[in-house]
Amino acid sequence: MQILKTIQELRDFRAKCSGDVGFVATMGALHAGHAQLIKTSVSQNNHTIVSIFVNPTQFLPGEDLSRYPRTPEADIKICQLCQADAVFMPEVDEIYNQNEIKILAPKELSSTLEGVTRPGHFDGVCTILTKFFNIINPTNAYFGKKDAQQLIIIENMVKSLFMNVNIVPIDIVRSSDGLALSSRNSYLNDDELAQALKISRSLMKASNLIKAGELSSIEIKKAMSSILEPLRVDYIAIVDKNLNPVDKIELGNSIILVAVYVKNTRLIDNLWV
């Protein structure tokens, strides 16, 4: 496996790839969720490139950019075990210059849900992915459903800008007790981890209610709220695939999303119904 630091090294590596190239974009602190994306890419492509880059433009002032977990050695081992062909780990200066163009996520998709608390976040995501897609020109790019709004915005960007890449969604990977794996889980102590389990339990409750025939968004949100207590809930939302709120669950076309604070850590999770 090659470790690439510069855009030139990445371009040279890409030029030697033949056949399909899979790309997995990450911010590092890799866990089994990331590994699932990488392994899927390896199984579906001739070459797989993983980026590990804590992208400053997707963090708002006051967010956790400086303390975001950075574990490069462990990350490299995980990529090796998953049989990735190359890891791209650039410095910030390699990626961003002084006068930068910004790719703006569409307002309709980016000003709701995460965008309310994190305005501008998805512009940073679209900008970095445009840069990476331009350098790598991947055949397939793998994204987790864990970041549902991000996935929908990326699909929209690729379609709007006629980008020649196939976006492949990957199911959420959870710990055995249900918690959605996240690099930010490392901020939590044991007590907070136990509290965080309420998030997946609330989604499980929603799933059971739906299976029993309850389709009313109000009723489902009510039941979820009572499970999430006393955590500070940022939002519980039930939306369609354009992120518009729906009053009634439509099987195959609805997503239930939750954002919750466990102490100072903001965690998100969701269920694609």
* Of the residues 10, 172, 239, 273, which one makes contact with ligand AMP according to CB under 6 A: 172
* Of the residues 48, 51, 156, 183, which one makes contact with ligand AMP according to CB under 6 A: 183
* Of the residues 49, 82, 135, 180, which one makes contact with ligand AMP according to CB under 6 A: 180
121 catalytically annotated:
no
Stretch that binds ligand AMP, among 5-13, 170-178, 207-215, 258-266 (CB under 6 A): 170-178
Name the residue nearer to ligand AMP (CB basis): 3 or 215.
3
- Residue 188 assigned as binding residue: no
- Residue 32 assigned as binding residue: yes
* Secondary structure of the chain as H, E, C letters: CEEECCHHHHHHHHHHCCCCEEEEEECCCCCHHHHHHHHHHHHHCCEEEEEECCCHHHCCCCCCCCCCCCCHHHHHHHHHHCCCCEEECCCHHHHCCCCCCCCCCCHHHHCCCHHHHCCCHHHHHHHHHHHHHHHHCCCEEEEEHHHHHHHHHHHHHHHHCCCCCEEEEECCCECCCCCECCHHHHHCCHHHHHHHHHHHHHHHHHHHHHHCCCCEHHHHHHHHHHHHCCCEEEEEEEEECCCCECCECCCCCEEEEEEEEECCEEEEEEEEC
- Residue 116 assigned as binding residue: no
* Of the residues 4, 27, 49, 165, which one makes contact with ligand AMP according to CB under 6 A: 27
82 binds ligand AMP (CB under 6 A): no
> Rule CB under 6 A: which of 92-131 touch ligand AMP?
none
**Shortest distance in whole angstroms from residue 170 CB to ligand AMP:** 5
Which residue is nearest to ligand AMP, using beta carbons?
144
Name the residue nearer to ligand AMP (CB basis): 90 or 221.
90
Q: Around Cβ 221, how many Cβ atoms within 10 Å?
A: 19
* Of the residues 146, 198, 221, 266, which one makes contact with ligand AMP according to CB under 6 A: 146
Binding site for ligand AMP (CB under 6 A): 26-27, 33-34, 36-37, 143-144, 146-147, 170, 172-173, 180-183
Q: Which residues are annotated as a binding site?
A: 27-34, 58, 144-147, 150, 173, 181-184
Active site residues: 34
